[in-house]
Amino acid sequence: MAQITLKGNPVATVGELPAAGTAAPSFTLVNKDLSEANMADFAGKRIVLNIFPSLDTPVCAASVRRFNLEASSIPDTVVLCISADLPFAHKRFCEVEGIENVVSLSVFRSPEFGSDYGVTITDGPLKGILSRAVVIVDKDGKVIHAEQVPEITQEPDYEAALKAMV
């Protein structure tokens, strides 16, 4: 169980992020067009899992914009922006913001994703949604970087994530 904070107040998650060097857990999530996407769909690419509570918060929206600009320009890399928001919210956000370089995915049919990645919040006002984390998976399906952001209202360490990809 990871101990993080929300505006300085302690909050726990269901577990820990997968460790560097381990195989990334497989998943099946829902695209904004309601089709399903799974880990195998991105085989042979470096995968950035930008995991966050909700697109309807400024910090989450900022992380999607930032990864849309930076990480998506790295060759053989796909950025997956993952939250509990419904696919309709993902679609609306991406259309309004002009987000075209990331794959926006919902966990609404797959609660096991949060457990498998250790990011489901287990207490406090955000209980049941995902914490803010970044996991980078290499082309062989191994985790090469994992950051559980310690304070939900803070952005992830983009520089560390980008550095892990090159």
Residues 116-128: pLDDT tens digits?
999 999 999 999 9
Q: What mean pLDDT is predicted for residues 97-104? A: 86
- Rounded CA separation 139/41 (Å): 12
81 is catalytic: no
Give this prediction's pTM: 0.93
Q: Does pLDDT of 68 surpass 80?
A: no
pLDDT for 27 equals 97
| Average predicted confidence (pLDDT) for the chain | 91
Quickly tell me which residue has 């067009």 as its tokens.
33
- What's the pLDDT at 53? 93
- Residue 165: what pLDDT? 82
Residue range 86-96: mean pLDDT, rounded: 89
Q: Is the pLDDT of residue 97 over 90?
A: no
Domains of the chain by start residue, with CATH: 3-165 (3.40.30.10)
Task: State yes or no: pLDDT of 72 exceeds 80.
Answer: no
Q: Is 151 exposed, middle or buried (0-12, 13-18, 19+ CB in 10 A)?
A: middle
pLDDT given at position 55: 85
Q: Which of 60, 82, 105, 152 is catalytic?
A: 60
Residue 25 DSSP code: P
Q: pLDDT at position 90, please?
A: 87
Q: What pLDDT was estimated at residue 99?
A: 82
Q: Which of 18-32, 85-99, 101-115, 137-151 has the lowest mean pLDDT?
A: 85-99
Distance CA 49, CA 119 (A): 12
| Residue 166 DSSP code | -
The residues near 147 (Cβ < 8 Å, ≥ 6 apart) are 17, 133, 134, 135, 156, 157, 160, 161
pLDDT score at 130:
97
Q: Which residues contact 137 (CB under 8 A, 6 or more apart)?
A: 24, 46, 47, 49, 143, 144
